């Protein structure tokens, strides 16, 4: 059969409120043309993020009723710990309320002035938590990973030559760890090959530097390995996941992605001294080490989500349905980052709207029009997000993208067809789209709260 169906039935539904363009023009104006300031009830298809937006399964909801809410030593913690260890066999598994809480704790221990932490590409919260300690986050993704239109099976790979040179240049004593983000969200949701993970680990072993994985989308990355890396064509996703983590000394995880839950995360590692320090910090800000900022029921939902996310029927549908959106946009002549990522399609707004200068925010203009035209909410990843300079000036970002992030198990193919139709229609009259300007902005992280208007 050619048709790939959603491998689930729908038992519980949430209504979508339909709106028309006139209503959306009012809502968008009230939100100062900032998609983050829109109430979600005014959105028809919400592609702002795939984080914390998954639908949980009947089994997960059932597990929630088994949550044991004891302050210390809950059986829910033990179920969570064994589900994590089944895939990621680390000695210490420390639950946190989400990914950035794990990052904050980890970098409070290993960061600090004069330290450098390389990654393929740091996600913004990872970089922010590193920089908050005075350390420097460094992105060393391969050159192919920076070219949106170039097709390469593993555009998230670490540039191994650059990594080794960087270690020699800065000195082993200044590099407390090397990280790899799977999949590489900030680089277009692109996967990292097992060969590259193994080689990164080998460099870390050579210089005696711990190797950590930012594991948010580990299952999607493992599925890409299964279908793109010849040596793994006949290996199960579960075994690929186990091999990935066998090379790591620890990981940070946002369970809001590939643990199929709405809140949760963890920090995992083998080092006893760091783990002791991490648990002390955890108690300060998150909670006791057997619940870490979560309820027992959240731990139960994660444990079941981890079993479900490595099922190959699910991953086949997940990756294929994201590709389906990407392929149809390409057919409509809309430039996207290629190949399609695992959790999102990134439209190259700068290439699509060459008449709008980067400093007039082509990504924001497209995102606003997607909402006005069809009630679709997406996220600008470009000059609005990265253009503000510390001295108050502004510079164009390296790319102007619009991310269509696909929540897990939420939308059906007809929802996606609606998105394709909307973008195809916008593309036929793209020359009518104009630039935008910022009328107010905060000193940091301006994309969340800035006000915009048309030029």
Q: Which residues bind ligand F0G (CB under 6 A)?
A: 49, 51, 98-100, 123, 125-126, 181, 185, 214, 216, 254, 256, 265
Residue 286 CA to residue 289 CA, distance in Å, equals: 9
Nearer to ligand F0G among residue 52 and residue 434 (C-beta): 52
| Residue 342 tokens, joined | 């695992």
C-alpha–C-alpha distance, residues 108 and 52, integer Å: 25
Nearest distance from residue 185's CB to ligand F0G, in Å?
Answer: 4
Nearer to ligand F0G, 123 or 433 (CB): 123
Which is nearer to ligand F0G, 264 or 375 (by Cβ)?
264
Distance between first and last Cα of the chain: 50
**Minimum CB separation from ligand F0G for residue 101, in Å?**
7
Q: Of the two residues 40 and 439, which places its CB atom closer to ligand F0G in the complex? A: 40
3-state secondary structure of 111: coil
Q: DSSP for 13-81? A: --------HHHHHHHHHHTTT-GGGS-GGG-SEE-S-SSS-PPPPHHHHHHHTT----SSS-HHHHHHH
Helix residue spans in 229-361 (DSSP H)? 237-246, 272-285, 296-309, 312-331, 349-352
Locus of tokens 């598994």: 93
Q: Which is nearer to ligand F0G, 185 or 365 (CB)?
A: 185
Cβ at position 99, least distance to ligand F0G in Å: 3
Q: Would you say 84 or 216 has its CB closer to ligand F0G? A: 216
Please state, in angstroms and rounded to a whole number, the distance separating the CA atoms of residues 410 and 229: 29
Q: Are 118 and 138 in contact (CB under 8 A)?
A: yes
For the bound state, the minimum distance from the C-beta of residue 392 to ligand F0G, rounded and expressed in Å, comes to 26
Residue nearest to ligand F0G (CB): 99
Minimum CB distance to ligand F0G, residue 257 (Å): 7
Q: Tell the smallest beta-carbon distance from residue 450 to ligand F0G (Å).
A: 18
d(CA 33, CA 440): 11
Nearer to ligand F0G, 255 or 349 (CB): 255
Kind plus residue range of the DSSP H or E element containing 181: strand 178-181
Minimum CB distance to ligand F0G, residue 50 (Å) = 7
Q: DSSP readout, 378-439?
A: -EEESHHHH-B-TTS-B---S--EEEEE--TTT--HHHHHHHHHHHHHHHHTGGG---EEEE
Cβ 265 to ligand F0G shortest distance, Å: 5
Query: Which residue's CB is nearer to ligand F0G, number 36 or number 233?
Result: 36
């Amino acid at each position: 059969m050619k048709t790939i169906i959603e491998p689930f039935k729908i038992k519980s539904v949430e209504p979508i409120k339909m709106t028309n363009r006139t209503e959306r023009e009012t809502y968008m104006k009230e939100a100062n043309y900032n998609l983050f300031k829109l109430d979600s009830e005014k959105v028809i298809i919400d592609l702002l993020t795939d984080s914390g937006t998954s639908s949980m399964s009947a089994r997960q909801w059932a597990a929630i009723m088994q949550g044991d809410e004891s302050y210390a030593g809950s059986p829910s913690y033990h179920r969570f710990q064994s589900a994590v260890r089944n895939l990621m066999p680390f000695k210490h598994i420390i639950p946190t309320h989400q990914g950035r809480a794990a990052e904050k704790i980890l970098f409070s221990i290993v960061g600090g002035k004069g330290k450098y932490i390389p990654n393929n590409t740091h996600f913004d919260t990872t970089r922010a938590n590193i920089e908050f300690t005075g350390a420097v986050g460094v992105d060393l993704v391969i050159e192919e990973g920076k070219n949106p239109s170039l097709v390469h099976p593993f555009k998230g790979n670490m540039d191994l030559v650059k990594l080794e040179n960087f270690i020699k240049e800065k000195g082993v004593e200044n590099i407390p760890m090397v990280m790899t983000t799977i999949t590489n969200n900030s680089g277009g949701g692109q996967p990292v090959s097992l060969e590259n993970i193994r080689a990164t680990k080998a460099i870390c072993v050579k210089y005696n530097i711990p190797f950590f994985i930012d594991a948010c989308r580990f299952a999607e990355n493992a599925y890409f390995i299964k279908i793109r890396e010849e040596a793994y064509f006949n290996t199960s996703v579960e075994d690929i996941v186990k091999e990935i983590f066998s090379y790591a000394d620890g990981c940070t995880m946002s369970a809001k992605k590939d643990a199929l839950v709405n809140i949760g995360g963890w920090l995992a590692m083998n080092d006893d001294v760091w783990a002791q320090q991490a648990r002390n910090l955890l108690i300060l800000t998150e909670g006791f080490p057997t619940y870490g900022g979560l309820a027992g029921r959240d731990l139960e939902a994660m444990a079941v989500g981890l079993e479900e996310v490595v099922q190959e029927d699910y991953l086949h549908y997940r990756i294929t349905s994201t590709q389906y959106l990407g392929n149809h946009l390409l057919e409509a002549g809309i430039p996207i980052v290629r190949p399609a990522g695992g959790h999102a399609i990134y439209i190259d707004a700068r290439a699509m709207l060459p008449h709008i200068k980067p400093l007039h925010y082509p990504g924001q203009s497209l995102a606003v029009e997607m909402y006005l035209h069809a009630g679709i909410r997406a996220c600008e990843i470009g000059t609005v997000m990265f253009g503000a300079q510390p001295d108050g000036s502004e510079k164009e970002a390296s790319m102007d993208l619009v991310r269509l992030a696909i929540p897990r198990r939420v939308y059906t193919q007809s929802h996606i067809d609606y998105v394709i139709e909307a973008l195809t229609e916008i593309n036929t009259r793209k020359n009518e789209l104009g630039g935008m300007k910022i009328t107010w902005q905060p000193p940091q992280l301006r994309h969340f709260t800035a006000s915009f208007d048309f030029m």
